[in-house]
Chains A and B, each alone.
Chain A
């Protein structure tokens, strides 16, 4: 009977997959003990006679050994604790004899085959009333897990799940905690509480070894990857309480530089650069963004819906997207439903944003007036009618009447702390056949600059259904409606970026502190100036009050339908069809603004900011159909996978714009309400199409040698004839050294994975105008001969280039993936990326009289290294038992070089020259400030300036004894030397903490104008200028004060004085959360309740003197970045 029972157990074990066998082995002993205890009186063939009084146990056992022939093992030392044996049995069953011998002994015993093992006796449990708990354990995909160990915490009792994942366990009281553990999965502890049925979903451990990575048209095991792919989970991204989804990727992947240009709601100008700027052409360096396989926009996406983001960085992984993959590919997958009861999750947070930094301006009127006078005099204006009289300065300084003599801080009038709220509701569930994931999202973000805000509604419905075992189909539908409010912009500008946030900002900067926004007479009239000679821009408060707004509505509908057929074990077929509909509408309204004198209350000017209503509709309809066959076959350690597919895409864009100028009633803001005397209408449409064939071949031998080849053949409507089609191949190989038998033989237990990989491939870029090869005449040059009618003009404006073709990027990548001590991962890559046949404007001489055609010319190179390190661990004992933590570092370095640009082109303060980075800084170098007339006299003459002590001293770079434009020189810093980030996350006893620091090193930004140069349009100087050079205070850092734009050239020339170090390191994100124990929340019907605090851009270490070193490029003021403190809650029902 005993033997039989063992046999049955073994059979069961064999049914379980091999990997489970290992765990079974571990718990073997435990099983046997329990089996023995269950079988109350085992009977054996052997009969034994034993007659002992006060004998030692060892003596008795010896006797049993001799009679039965069973081997008996015991620890002699242990046996000293035995009590004397009194047994008097004749011809009795072995089991009964042993039972008698061990009665009252502090030991137990185990019988295995012909062996008896003496073991310490298990501690007896108190006989209390047991609570029986039942339940089922599944993995995240809803598959039952057999063999999961369930232990009652702190005891030796426990059980395992059966074949269907179900279990039954007894506990002694409500305070018991069940521990569910299984190899390859994260252990879970569940307090019993009042429950009698506990179903558990175990999460698979994401160790680098079993991670699945999304790649082009499929997935791939991370260990088998031969290309360079970074993967970020939706969960990691969603830690940041920001609204823009692309911003959330910042600092999370090496080699992926994400820069959030501004904090303007709905208009963050996020730039994504994968391995640098790969081209200088208008084709651009933006990566291809795919949402569930179809091109889409980050802006349309609700970040909550993101399951995973894969970034394809090298040619091998991106080549399957061919002609649009030159700048890398970002693959976003959205969350799918999970079988099981419907779960409802609510995530919400409320945040408060303020500028990360604000200019410190001189806001004391008397101080402003004195500096104003000084700057005017230094700039050559000595006319007393253009200077503040001393008695007025004294009044501002001494008068208690701050109504009439204010110290207005204009920036504080337009900047504020602004709330952002974010609510998401997710429903997920389904049955074996059909699953769903439905989400609703709402964001309402007020801008820290008044007049700017953004609202977004999102909905997503993802459905998957199995028709039968072979056919699956599904739909992914995204709906989005966004509304962006901004201050009105320039009516003729069709671009989204109209700079109106900057315009309002500079208008506030340009105001003098000597007056407030409104007159003091209570009329509510807006102030123009206090003194005629003051300079300023429009009154920003008037613009805000008058509601001169541009309201942009953007709607998106992305609908996808797909199906997958599994013909047999080896062959499957996948097809997806998608339609993306995007519509952007805006209305921009302005009227004239009456502004009055602060002192006299008289009307001074009716400001005309370009009045009227512009109403614009833009829409894009994009369709895509792709279909591919997959084949996979394994034999004798050879694994072959092949894929072949086809794709067709079309996109049509159209826009329509109407304008009327004069509106009798300012509240009626529709075109029909405007006068028809001055009106305009514009509209056009264009389209492109792309047809492609693609294929992939994978081969590996025992996971040791990995090979992959990709190819894509793209046909584009943008090119003609032989150039219409372009082929983009890639090859890659990997060697998993740790899979080699000789390495395995070395038994390096610490080395879990060591993989070398290399790839080479070519990618394309076709992002030129839609009809670049055609010779076209433009409807341009209308002219009125008779001053009453306008004759339409037609002219050729550009040369054409019928032989235009693809821009080609060739990339080589060598990488290394290492995992040691299970938890420590390293990924390193070196790459060399060269873009040739760049689609640039030809350098055409002006005498041709036509603008340049786009031609294929120029070569640019990017080379760099990337490093990603991570360590994760769970502390399993000690006081910190249960502490799970993860630390990571990403670092990358990229070097950009123009290999072949053609003729050097010098811009305002940049240069493009062969051998140098694209758009390198090029300007005069400032070596200091002249301290004395003698120093001026002994230094090279600077242009035709009348240089004075206190002026900037330029370096005579070419040593010709004079300073002129020939002394301009290249200054490094156009691109960062290093991008880096650190992240940390930890969880312990319901608390979780995560932090991310992100930094950029070695980059400069050219900044002049408002906020740098004093008195630009009258703008208050920053407080730095209190330290300006004067004979009494000979500063070595700040030159003499001059008056803004009328300052002499000697101070305003493009020079390194205005080039600032924009390196920074900042605490990008900090999250601290607490999950309330579920035994507490269950009482109110909540499965999980987590509350958290999240902070963003909390502090920054930088030498940058302007607002925020993270900005979208050079130039003046930019909308500041947000520092956010937010509080949120996650609830699951």
Chain B
């Protein structure tokens, strides 16, 4: 009896021990091993989606409005992107916010592009044609150019990474901004030559050659002004020609607000590139941030910048109505800013749950059909990155700088303003007068689209403009060193001396 029991037990135990030899080799059930991917075109399509998706972080998409909180346009009451620290001058290598987000997320996107290109080069399958290869490459290089422009425009000199990195070569020095610019234009030129020449809105949501042209125009316009605010005519000529080209291909959206609303973004003839979202699983909190939280509140001076319907400045125009500020104003005011609560007509009203610190909020990006706005609102508005309105402004600006206020300049501005029933500029402007009007027009037309910050930098007027802001809840303080942002301190530290901080931040 006793022996029988013991033998049984020994047998059972050893069975267990024998059966478990393989027990230590386990693999995840919801992730793909690198070795089994990049085996077909379908795999590259999925990898391409992830490259586009690297454009979706807040600071490039839903947070474009917050970028105006770094300027004289808005007040980010929750310090989104650390904008409050920036405008108050308490800006240093450890401030964080967009200072680190733009840096980190740009390189994350760049890494996806570089890995995509490396795997594409290694892939020999016949299911990807040569033409398709070029389109793939053109698309991802367009996106890489977008990220390098982000880095170039606010940090200046940055590391230039064109290959996947690993632990052994992770410490990369900065290269001069000019070299970064060359890379951006090289990438964009490749995209322009290889991408579909159809319009963006007819290209199934993929970047088209025209998208690359528009981005190149923006890049060159920024670069043309250098560090002094005086433009380089050769570059401006390129900008003008690119814009002319695009103005022949695209048409303004009939309604200004249609550009930003969900249903009317599809096939909108003005949009040249957008970062897309799709509810319910791929959303961006436009309506909650801007409509319910009032996370970026327009400043009074921004509101005042909208002209009266006669084209005269508010306060000077006889149509000025101090009792009802929104009366007789450039229609873009009511399509950009809401006064106290969101109002799209009867039944389409939303009272934001947070206070309006300046009394205003941004209505531009809100979707009326999503009311009421809140935590579980699933917003799928696309972030419009490039559009004809901006291209026309770039054309006018470049042409005015090169040739003065000629008829084409007037016409571009008249066309843009006509859409919102604003009168054309009076004839007879000097170049300087026209420059001021165009700059003003950019601020109004492109309000909260995240471009004001670039403009203040390239025109080299950030100091005088920002230090003059009196209508915010905080005291503005701009120093010249802020023309280039500091690199994140963590990056300086981790590089062990390879990466050098920008001047005046040590």
Q: Interface of A with B (CB < 8 Å)?
A: 380-381, 467-468, 470-471, 533, 535, 563, 565, 575, 577, 592, 604-612, 625, 627, 646, 648, 650, 661, 678-680, 684-691, 715-717, 724, 770-771, 774-796, 799, 801, 842-850, 853, 855, 903-906, 943-944, 946, 964-965, 1045-1046, 1048-1049
User: Please, which residue of chain B has its CB at the minimum distance from the CB of A905?
Assistant: B490
Chain B: minimal CB distance from A757 (Å) = 35
Closest to A1048 in B: B474
Given A776-B28, A787-B266, the answer on whether A1046 and B278 have CB atoms closer than 8 Å is no
| B357 sits at the interface (CB 8 A) | yes
Q: A residues within 8 A CB of B276? A: 783-785, 787
Kindly report which residue of chain A lies nearest to residue B119, judged by CB atoms.
A796
Q: Return chain A residues, CB-CB under 8 Å to B52.
A: 781, 783, 785, 793
Contact between chains at B111 and A611 (CB < 8 Å): no
B109 interface contact, C-beta 8 A: yes
B277: chain A residues within 8 A (beta carbon):
784
Minimum-distance CB pairs A-B, first 7: A608-B374, A849-B111, A781-B50, A785-B205, A781-B53, A793-B50, A784-B278
Asked whether B204 lies within 8 Å of A625 as measured between CB atoms, the reply is no
A946→B475 contact, CB < 8 A: yes
Q: Which of B419-464 contact A (CB under 8 A)?
A: none
Closest to A788 in B: B278
**B20 CB contacts on chain A under 8 angstroms:** 648, 650, 689, 691
Identity of the chain A residue whose Cβ is nearest the Cβ of B5 in the assembled complex: A471
Contact check, A604 vs B351: say whether CB atoms are below 8 A apart. yes
* Cα(A612)–Cα(B206), bound, Å: 34
Evaluate contact between B23 and A686: CB separation under 8 angstroms: no
Q: How far is the CA of A753 from the CA of B25 in the complex (A)?
A: 51
Q: Which of B345-369 contact A (CB under 8 A)?
A: 351, 353, 355, 357
Measured between beta carbons, the chain B residues less than 8 angstroms from A470 are 2
Whether B94 contacts A796 by the Cβ 8 Å rule is no
Binary interface encoding of chain B residues 259-291 relative to chain A, with 1 for a CB under 8 A from any of its CBs, else 0: 000000110000000001111111000000000
Binding site for A on B (CB under 8 A): 1-2, 5-6, 9, 13, 16-17, 20, 23-35, 37, 43, 45-47, 49-54, 56, 77-78, 84-85, 88-90, 92, 94, 100, 103-104, 107-112, 114-115, 159, 161, 165-167, 170-172, 204-206, 265-266, 276-282, 292, 351, 353, 355, 357, 372-378, 380, 382, 473-475, 477, 488-491, 493-496, 499
- In the bound complex, what is the Cα–Cα distance between A849 and B166 (angstroms)? 10
State the CA gap A678–B13 with chains docked (Å): 51
Give the distance in Å from the alpha carbon of A673 to the alpha carbon of B338 in the complex: 38
CB-based contact A843/B494 at 8 Å: yes
Q: Which residues of A contact B90 (CB under 8 A)?
A: 943-944, 1049
| Shortest Cβ distance from B79 into A: residue | A1045
Interface pairs (22), CB distance under 8 Å: A467-B2, A535-B355, A575-B9, A592-B374, A609-B376, A775-B34, A780-B50, A780-B53, A781-B52, A790-B278, A790-B282, A799-B167, A845-B170, A846-B103, A846-B488, A846-B490, A848-B107, A855-B167, A903-B494, A943-B90, A1046-B77, A1049-B90
Across the interface, do B29 and A684 meet the contact criterion of CB distance under 8 Å? yes
The reply to whether B88 and A1049 form a contact with Cβ atoms under 8 Å apart is yes
B89 touches A944 (CB 8 A): yes
* Given A689-B23, A794-B37, A847-B161, residue A680 in contact with residue B281 (CB < 8 A): yes
Cα–Cα distance between A842 and B167 once the two chains are bound (Å): 9
Write out the residue numbers on chain A whose beta carbons fall within 8 Å of the beta carbon of B499: 845
Closest residue of chain A to B25 (Cβ to Cβ) is A717
Contact (Cβ within 8 A) A782 B53: yes
Known: A592-B372, A794-B43. 20 other contacts (CB 8 A): A467-B2, A611-B375, A775-B34, A776-B31, A780-B53, A781-B53, A782-B49, A782-B281, A783-B50, A783-B52, A785-B49, A787-B205, A793-B50, A845-B172, A847-B107, A849-B109, A849-B110, A905-B490, A1046-B473, A1049-B84
Most buried by B among A627, A690, A784, A1049: A784
Residues from chain A with Cβ under 8 Å of B494 in the complex: 843-845, 903
Q: Is there an interface contact between A796 and B115, defined as CB atoms closer than 8 Å?
A: yes
Contacts of B23 in A (CB 8 A): 648, 650, 689, 691, 717
Known: A688-B26, A794-B32, A944-B89. A610 touches B375 (CB 8 A): yes
- Give complex CA distance A686, B30 in Å: 8
- Which residues of chain B are near A792, meaning CB under 8 Å? 46, 49
Are A646 and B17 within 8 A (Cβ)? yes
Q: In the complex, are the beta carbons of B496 and A903 less than 8 A apart?
A: yes
- Chain B residues with CB under 8 Å of A844's CB are 167, 170, 494
Closest to B477 in A: A944
Residues in chain A near residue B88, CB distance under 8 A: 944, 1049
CB atoms of A609 and B33 under 8 A apart: no
How far in angstroms is the closest Cβ of chain B from A44?
59
Residues in B with CB closer than 8 Å to A717 are 23-26
CB-CB under 8 A from A944, the residues of chain B are 88-90, 475, 477
Nearest residue, chain B, Cβ from A1017 = B354
Question: Using Cβ atoms and an 8 Å threshold, which residues of chain A touch B46?
Answer: 791-794
Structural contact, B353 and A906, CB atoms closer than 8 A: no
State A608–B371 Cα separation when bound (angstroms): 11
| B-chain residues with CB within 8 Å of residue A627 when the two chains form the complex | 13
Taken together as a complex, chains A and B put the C-alpha atoms of A960 and B298 apart, in Å, by: 38
Q: Which residues of A contact B5 (CB under 8 A)?
A: 467, 471
Contact of A565 among B6, B167, B266, B279 (CB under 8 A): B6
